[in-house]
Structure formats: C-alpha cells, structure tokens
Structure 1
Amino acid sequence: MLAFHSDAHSLALPPGHRFPQSKYRLLREHFEARPGLLRMQPAEAASEGELALAHTPDYVEAVLLGRLSAAQQREIGFPWSPQMAARSCHSVGASIAAARAALAEGVAANMAGGTHHAYADKGSGFCVFNDVAVAARLMQAEWHRRRRQLLRVLVIDLDVHQGNGTAAIFRDDASVFTCSIHAAKNFPFRKEPGDLDVELPDGCGDADYLAALDATLARLWAREERPGLAFYLAGADPHEGDRLGRLKLTTAGLLERDRRVLTALRERGIPVALSMAGGYGRDLATTVACQVNTLNEAARHWSLWRDRQAMEE
C-alpha cells in the first residue's frame, strides 16, 4: 500500500509543547524497520494554486511568506517559521498523493494529515491548511477534467474532535458529505454543523462507540448519492490513554473501528485515502502503536482490493 510521509520538516516548538511531532517520525521508522508492508514515499509540497482550492489567497500568502499575525499564530498553536510553512505544504501534498493513489488502487494513506480545524481563511488547533479539503477539491477537478463527471466525496472524520474547519469549507457544497463522530464536550467548543454530526459523552467506551459507529454507517449507506472517493480521518485520540480525548476506547476498540469503516467502504467499492489525524497519548508509544494498527489494517484492505481488481481483470 502506498503511504506518504512529510516528517522531514520539523517545527520549532518550545519545550513542553503539547503537539507530539515526533509521532510521525516514529510511525515512519516503525515501517522502515519492517519493509514490504507499505510502499512509503516522501510527499511533494502542495502548490500555492492547489492550496487556493480550499483556502483564501490572502491566508495562503500569509502562511507562505510569514505574515501571520501573533493572534493567528496563537490560534494555530505553532509559531511561524519557514519549516512550519514547508511542513504544512508537504502534509497537504501527502493527502493529495494518497487520494490519487486511492482512486487507482483502492486504499492509500497520508502518515500525517487530518488537519480538520483549518478554515478557508485561518488555521486553528494545530492545523494550518486543511489537507482533506484541498485534496478533495483537487480530485474533483482532475476527475471532471478526465471524465466530465462529478466526483462525489465522503469525509468520515473519527478524530475525537469535531472537524469544524472541514464542515465550514464544505457547508454549501452538496458534492462533499461530511460526517464526524466526536466527543461532545471537547474542542472545538463552538461546533460547525456538518452534514452528519454524532456527539458522544465523556467516558464513552468501546461498546457504545461501536454501536454509534454502526448506526452512523447505516445512515451513510442509506443515502441515495454514492461517493466515488472517501477520506477517513483515523485519529488515535479517542483512545483511553489520550491526554486530549475524553473518550475511553481501548486499543482493540480503535482497531475494530478501523476494521468496520474500511470493510464497509471496500464492500461498496469506495476508494479511501486515510489520514492519521490526532493522537496525544500520555504514553506516545501507545499512540504510535494505535496508528500502526490503523495502517496495518488499511494495508490488509488494500491487498483485498488488489485481489478483487485482479479477479475482475
């Protein structure tokens, strides 16, 4: 399975910062030590024009040229630096590459991404650019150029935080359906209404979470419009050991979540690009292990996709 990484660009963060940027390097190094499962590639940077598919030109320019105000940097949670801008562009590029690969091969992944708090005109909550929004818009443009057809997109956001930026960007776009299952009392405290929002109480564990997921997936498949591409934000932050999560899923529960989502998409022939999204475990090794499980499961479904394509040929 193709998986794209962007961890070569480090953020200049003060000591004790809550953002666990080493998670992405550790995830890549895990699979480098076990070659064969993933075809890992460094991501190219998204271009200024590609970023402008989902973001205002003024905001894109402010990030790229270092013109973010102090207030804007505080809302994002990162100080500006050339590395911050480069990292953000490459992370979006990873989701673009993963989406293209998913359309060709069924399943692919961004080993970071899921920056769903970024709005068209601002960043927020450790999110500079909205990688899924940019990739969705670009895939739609490329699909229309090749096939003269509309590509409908489904966003399944299972990060513990609501994807407010994604919901806002696609609020008036009927071609993109946004679905978010998240902790009701967690950030962002002012939610943006998406197409399907499912709020869960603090302390929600495996059984209740998976029941809510099954009901949500049933609602998605009852819709008349069939998506041609899905983005799955497979955040590790619903885990019981997450510092910022408020939910109580076990490691096994998170893996079962991934299995049910990926199985449902594969059975319906819907290609999927994954993003790792959030994960802020008290023990970073546990967070990495959860995301290793996600990528292992995704690779298993990629293999099943390939077997299916071979039979059809």
Structure 2
Amino acid sequence: MLKIAYHPCYGHPVRKDHRFPMDKYPLLIEQLKYEGTIEEDNIFAPVEVEEKHILKVHTPEYWHKLKHQEISYKEERRIGLPMSPALIKRELIITQGTIDCTEYALKYGVAMNIAGGTHHAYSEHGEGFCLLNDFAVAAQYLIDYKGFERILILDLDVHQGNGTAEIFQDNNKVFTFSMHGANNYPMHKETSDLDIPLEDQTDDTTYLKILRQKIEELFSNIQPQFVFFLSGVDILKTDKLGKLGMSMQGCKDRDQMVFEKCFTEKVPVAVSMGGGYSPQLNLIIEAHANTFRIANNIYF
C-alpha cells in the first residue's frame, strides 16, 4: 500500500505569497482521492518529531531559538517566513512525516510525504522557506536506529540542496547528489558529494540523458541501501523561480526513471515533494500528482 504523510497543518497559510503556494497540499490530496489514485487508508497524519532526532543534525543553539521563538529579524528574513508557534509545529510534523516514510518504505518499497524536502535548512540556521532539514533528520534516523551505512539523497529540485550538503559534508554514510539550476538560488552553492549544475532552459532530452547516466553510476558505485528522492516540480519551464526548460512529460519521465531504478534494484525510497511555483496552480497539482501516480503504478 502506498503510504502518504499528510496533516492539515501542511496547508497552514504561513505566507500569502505566490512563491509559497500552501494551498497546493490539500488540493493535491483531494485530486488524488477524486481520481482514485489513493483512498483514505493511504493517508497517515504524523505527529511532532522528538527533540532528540532534531539534535542529531541541528545545533542545540539553533533548535533553542526555534523552540522559544527567539529567531532574530535578520534570521527570519533569511528564512523568508514569519515565525510563529504554528509554523514550528508544522515543521516538526513534516519532519516526523519523513521519518515515518522511511519505515513505510522499508515495508512497502516506497512512501511519500506530501510536504517536506526542506533542503535549505543548515545545521545551525534556516533559509529559503526551510527551518528543519527533514531528509537529514530522517537519514540520520536510519543510521542511528537501523544501522544503514549507504544512503543516497537524490535531490532533483531546481535549487541546490545546500543545507543537506553542509550537514553531511563529513558523513561518509550519506551521499548527497544535487542536480539543479546553475544560475538559481542559492547563488552561493555548497559542495555536495556530486553536483550537476544545469544551464538555463535545459530541455527534456538533455536533462534526462544526464540524469539517466548519473543514476546508473550512483547505484553502481554506491550500492545504496536506501534512497531519499526530492521530487521538486520547479524544474518545469512554466515555473516562475525555475529557469529550466522541462515539459510536464519530461518531469513525469524523471520520476518514472527514479522509481523504476529503485524498484528494479529493490532499494526502498522515501519521497518529499519539494518546490513548485508555476503561476497556474493546476500545473503544480498535475506535476506533483504525476509523482504519486507513477509510484502507485510501479509499486502497487
């Protein structure tokens, strides 16, 4: 059964801004249910993550400031969201949702978090709409509680996973791969284990050729025991913040490629949705929905 992390707080209006379309989360759930891709039994509501898991990847000082609402104005501007207890709660629930997805992925092969993919959160600060790094917390959970030693993070959001790269820069149990726009946020890139910067307007053919080659190399060289897939749909040509030239079909083919490889190699995969900022909300919903449809078709 495809298990999907979703909580009503995912749609909390933390910022009324076209760059951060919070209403996509409940609408995506409704679309998937309406078309029959999922039913109510597929959905689970995470609780708040325990502090001990946060402190495995984030510094005590940073967590203290988040927990006690002591983030400065300058830090808040860097994050890009107004601080509130509701926002912190939302981040805690999203992060636990990704941890829960690792457990369901181990059982069913794949599991998905409607939200998450907060890859701009560093160990000691947040930025780019990201406060806690859900992939980092969940990957460390697998290392600490499941004994995993070869974890692959496939970050295919249009923006580099700079926070994830910083957190795992000295950790040889997690391989960070980021394929992103070269001329996009963040302008200062961190060093992932493997970065593939793409030129503006990169098209389907070029993108998919590079990705196929790199996925084959990564699975061959790393032989991952677990994969985290950040499936941002801000690679679309229609995306206001993306700058790439990918079509809806190209984005769909990307997801198909990742899921088929994980399925064939019998490697569990946990997915977070990441970004999507096309001006037409229906395009964002359709692109994200394709990710769920493909996973459901391949695995179930």
Q: Please give the range of the TM-score, normalised by the shorter of the 2 chains.
A: over 0.9
Residue in structure 2 matching 1:172, options 166, 170, 173: 170
Aligned length: 297
Which position in structure 1 is the counterpart of 2:283?
Answer: 286
Tell me if 1:243 matches 2:232. no
Equivalent-residue separation in structure 2 for 1:151 and 1:104 (angstroms): 19
Residue in structure 2 matching 1:137, options 137, 140, 146: 140
* Equivalent position amino acid for 2:98 in 1: S
* Equivalent position amino acid for 1:211 in 2: K
Residue in structure 2 matching 1:228, options 225, 229, 245: 225
Partner SS for 2:20: coil
Instruction: Give the superposition deviation at 1:13.
Output: 4.1
Instruction: Give the superposition deviation at 1:29.
Output: 1.8
CA RMSD of aligned residues (A): 1.4
Instruction: Give the superposition deviation at 1:12.
Output: 5.0
Task: Tell me the alpha carbon deviations over residues 92-143 of structure 1, each in whole angstroms, 9 at most, x when there is no partner.
Answer: 0110111111011101101110000000011010011000000000122111
Instruction: Give the superposition deviation at 1:18.
Output: 2.1
Contact conserved, 1:9 with 1:84, CA < 8 A, in 2?
no
Query: Where in structure 2 are there 5+ consecutive unaligned residues?
Result: none
Residue in structure 2 matching 1:79, options 76, 82, 88: 82
Contact conserved, 2:237 with 2:246, CA < 8 A, in 1?
yes
* Equivalence map 1:152-301=2 (5 Å): 152-223=150-221, 225-301=222-298
Instruction: Give the superposition deviation at 1:170.
Output: 0.4
TM-score with structure 1 length normalisation? 0.91
Equivalent-residue separation in structure 2 for 1:249 and 1:263 (angstroms): 20
Which position in structure 2 is the counterpart of 1:94?
Answer: 97
Q: Compared with structure 1, are the counterparts of its residues 166 and 14 closer, same or farther at alpha carbon in structure 2 (3 Å cutoff)?
A: closer
Equivalent-residue separation in structure 2 for 1:14 and 1:143 (angstroms): 37
Residue in structure 1 matching 2:130, options 114, 121, 127: 127
Task: Tell me the alpha carbon deviations over residues 259-286 of structure 1, each in whole angstroms, 9 at most, x when there is no partner.
Answer: 0111111111110001100101111110
Instruction: Give the superposition deviation at 1:6.
Output: 3.0
Equivalent-residue separation in structure 2 for 1:236 and 1:14 (angstroms): 20
Instruction: Give the superposition deviation at 1:160.
Output: 0.3
Equivalent-residue separation in structure 2 for 1:40 and 1:166 (angstroms): 27
Tell me if 1:106 matches 2:109. yes
Equivalent-residue separation in structure 1 for 2:85 and 2:10 (angstroms): 9
Partner SS for 1:159: coil
Instruction: Give the superposition deviation at 1:68.
Output: 0.7
Equivalent-residue separation in structure 1 for 2:299 and 2:60 (angstroms): 36
* Equivalent position amino acid for 2:140 in 1: R
Q: Compared with structure 1, are the counterparts of its residues 222 and 13 closer, same or farther at alpha carbon in structure 2 (3 Å cutoff)?
A: closer
Equivalent-residue separation in structure 2 for 1:48 and 1:215 (angstroms): 39
Contact conserved, 1:7 with 1:87, CA < 8 A, in 2?
no
* Equivalent position amino acid for 1:153 in 2: I
* Equivalent position amino acid for 2:218 in 1: L
* Equivalent position amino acid for 1:103 in 2: L
Equivalent-residue separation in structure 2 for 1:54 and 1:288 (angstroms): 31
Contact conserved, 2:15 with 2:82, CA < 8 A, in 1?
no
Q: Compared with structure 1, are the counterparts of its residues 288 and 79 closer, same or farther at alpha carbon in structure 2 (3 Å cutoff)?
A: same
Contact conserved, 1:6 with 1:112, CA < 8 A, in 2?
no
Partner SS for 1:120: coil
TM-score with structure 2 length normalisation? 0.95
Query: Where in structure 1 are there 5+ consecutive unaligned residues?
Result: 145-149, 304-313
Equivalent-residue separation in structure 2 for 1:11 and 1:151 (angstroms): 36
Task: Tell me the alpha carbon deviations over residues 52-95 of structure 1, each in whole angstroms, 9 at most, x when there is no partner.
Answer: 11111121121122111111111110011111101110110110
Contact conserved, 1:43 with 1:91, CA < 8 A, in 2?
yes
Equivalent-residue separation in structure 1 for 2:213 and 2:252 (angstroms): 18
Q: Compared with structure 1, are the counterparts of its residues 47 and 35 closer, same or farther at alpha carbon in structure 2 (3 Å cutoff)?
A: farther
Equivalent-residue separation in structure 1 for 2:75 and 2:11 (angstroms): 20
Contact conserved, 1:100 with 1:139, CA < 8 A, in 2?
no
